[in-house]
Structure 1
Amino acid sequence: MLDRNHRANQRERTLLSKTSFIRALSPMASSKMLDGAHIATMPARASIFREGEAALSFYCLLSGYVRLYRVSRDGRQADIRICGPGDMFAECLIYGGDKYRFNAQAAENVTLARFDMQDVRELAEQDPTVAKAIMATLSDHLLSTMDCVVNDRLHTAPQRVADYLLTRCATENGPTSIRLPYQKSLLAGMLGLAPEALSRAFSSLRRTGVTVRGRVIQIGNVEALKDV
């Protein structure tokens, strides 16, 4: 259930204006999108929507992280995507169906903007920049999904973790450290791993100088991590 629902204030409009989706719109369309944004804050683990519910809105995340996932018949969960600040989600349903195809849950305290699907459909008919921005967002998500499929099929668990760490290293060689933006259980789901498989992967990376202390990951040698 959404909490503290209100129209976007100036600070929130500024944050939304910096997202790639809003930046791609014409001044008229951008103004209408910002005017139509409803801002909500939600606590960690709160449900934003559930699979099978009527798809009336899509969202842009302003702060925190949101987990998108599906549940099998026997109750197992599979993460689809972890959304961070500036990311949009459920916009695929603007032209793709009338029910949500997955679940969305706040992974921590979040602030998000909600947009009405029908209002945006009508705006897209009036202004082609809206349709183009939607297509660009969907294209980005498709390419990202393809990368995830390839990663799952071609890389071992330690390789997936090493690749994730390398994309966040501030240096090309030598020692460094990074701080995970969210808890390790969320990282496990994002990488398609069970929590225990993630722990084993981190253990196997100790030989390259990787140590884990809470959310802080110490990397002894970035070059060694590249050879995993």
Structure 2
Amino acid sequence: MTDRLPSLLGTQPAPEQWIVIATAVAALAVVLPRPIWRLSRNAITIAHEGGHGLTALVTGRRLQSIRLHSDTSGLTVSRGRPTGLGMILTAAAGYPAAPLLGLGGAALLGAHHVTLLLWVATALLLALLVMVRNAYGILTVLLTGGLFLLVSWLTGPDVQSVFAYAVVWFLLLGGVRPAFELQSQRRREGGGDSDADQLGRLTHVPPTLWLLFFHAVSLCCLIGGGRWLLGW
């Protein structure tokens, strides 16, 4: 591990522009087709529920459990006041989590910290694993974290770079779609117990405005992160 510290904290060469564009196309290919999205969306759910959990801890709530389900839904349970700023921030953190992670990843890649990005992602997944309380969720996080660990430990800089760019593009592009899915679901089924509806009840702000907030965050992250990745 000591031998790897220089590469972990140092910088790696940026890939050629065509590789950056190719990884964006590859990420788009696992976000747009519905059959593939049903599987790949599990990774977005991990980020979504992780966002709820991390915000709950930061705002002083007591995080009890995180569950990830095979239909790509999830549930984060925390204890604390049922109203107030902490509850509002916790409820609002889910949909922006994946785009913001993508934006942070794009910033690291823009600064050429490929290896650091992979190890930070692995550490976040391991921290999340501690709070997951169902078998499917544990399996999903273990497989995802194991993939990051294998790439970080066993592959060279070129493979790590391609993998890292593909992951960050996926978070940026995949982070846009859930808000549109929620919007379509609410149009078909009306109000329910979604994050936007919970926030509407907590803040007395219409759920539609919270949907616009989710859209704005994800699209701004995609534009900003994409510019960093493309070197613009």
Asked if Structure 1 and Structure 2 have the same fold, meaning a TM-score greater than 0.5 normalized by the shorter chain, the answer is no
| Larger RCO: 1 or 2 (CA < 8 Å, sep 6+) | 2
How high is the TM-score relative to the length of structure 2?
Answer: 0.30
Q: Which one has the bigger helix percentage? A: 2
More strand by share: 1
Q: TM-score, normalised by structure 1?
A: 0.30
Higher gyration radius (CA):
1
